[in-house]
Structure 1
Amino acid sequence: MPTDRRTRHVPRPLPVRRTEPFDSAETAWFWLQRAQLCRAEGARLDGDPLAAARPCDPDDIVRAVRRLTADRVLRAEHLRVLTRHGRRLTPPDARLPEEARDAALWAEALDRLATPLRRKGIVA
């Protein structure tokens, strides 16, 4: 009687880590920007085993922004400000006259982004 000599591959269970939501939409946005910077440099996003596990992937935040843009909740000027200051990893400073408008748009955009991120459990 022939025996089946095929190797059976059974997935290993992944360790379950408690996830920690972001404390604000701004923190989530800067985390996304750092992840995109790492991706652009060719790094794999396996995650730091000592870092807090997050309840999402960077793409989940991107999808939320795209949805808000498609629904016209976020405008092109919001996206420009989020991108410009996100890449610098610093929020605009409302005390500087040249950044006052950016600071208002920044706050408005993050306020609008916080709602869907909260709904998904990404932001506490």
Structure 2
Amino acid sequence: MTATRFVPRSFCGDSPTQPFATAEEAWFWFARCQIVRRQGARFAPLPGASVRPCDPDDIYRAAVSLKRKGLLGRRHLAVLGHFGVSGRPPDPRCPEEEVPARLWEQAIDRLTTVLQEKGIVA
């Protein structure tokens, strides 16, 4: 009798994975994945698409872990969420985005450390 498998099968199989260049790139990828999930899309491998070394949920869990440790606050997560959905980072030259830009940089810096340890960011 075979054992029941509780872990979903990976899409990547034997394909080499390509880590993200930056945590910012990983965050925007996560945000896009969340948008299409809400629209009802299912994940399936696309021919010719680069295979990522993680699931979108891994990036979410990294952010939540930083929140639990007190390294990210509510405002950090709000800025990540707002500008992640917008698809662009806040512009520090714009007076109304000066504070969000500072929070964004702090959050991305802290995410970079965690995501590099996991091999998600190069």
Q: How many residues align?
A: 111
Residue 91 of structure 1 is matched in structure 2 by 89
Q: Does 1:63 align with 2:31?
A: no
2-structure distance, mates of 1:87, 1:67: 21
For 1:76 and 1:15, the matched residues in 2 are separated by: 37
Give the secondary-structure state (helix, strand or coil) at the position aligned to 1:44: coil
| Whole-angstrom distance in 2 between the partners of 1:47 and 1:26 | 23
Once residues 45 and 109 of structure 2 are traced to their aligned partners in structure 1, the CA distance between those partners, rounded to angstroms, is 27
Provide the residue aligned with 2:6 in structure 1. Answer: none
Counterpart CA distance in 1 for 2:55 and 2:43 is: 9
* Aligned twin of 1:16: 14
Q: Which runs of 4+ in 1 moved over 4 A?
A: none
After TM superposition, the score normalised by the length of structure 1 is 0.87
| Identical amino acids, percent of aligned pairs | 50
Q: CA RMSD in A?
A: 1.0
User: Which residue of the partner structure matches residue 100 of structure 2?
Assistant: 102
Question: Structure 1 stretches of 5 or more lacking a match?
Answer: 1-13
Corresponding residue for 2:44?
A: 46
Unaligned runs of 5+ in 2: 1-11
Q: CA deviation at 1:28?
A: 0.1
Which residue of 1 is the match for residue 110 of structure 2?
A: 112
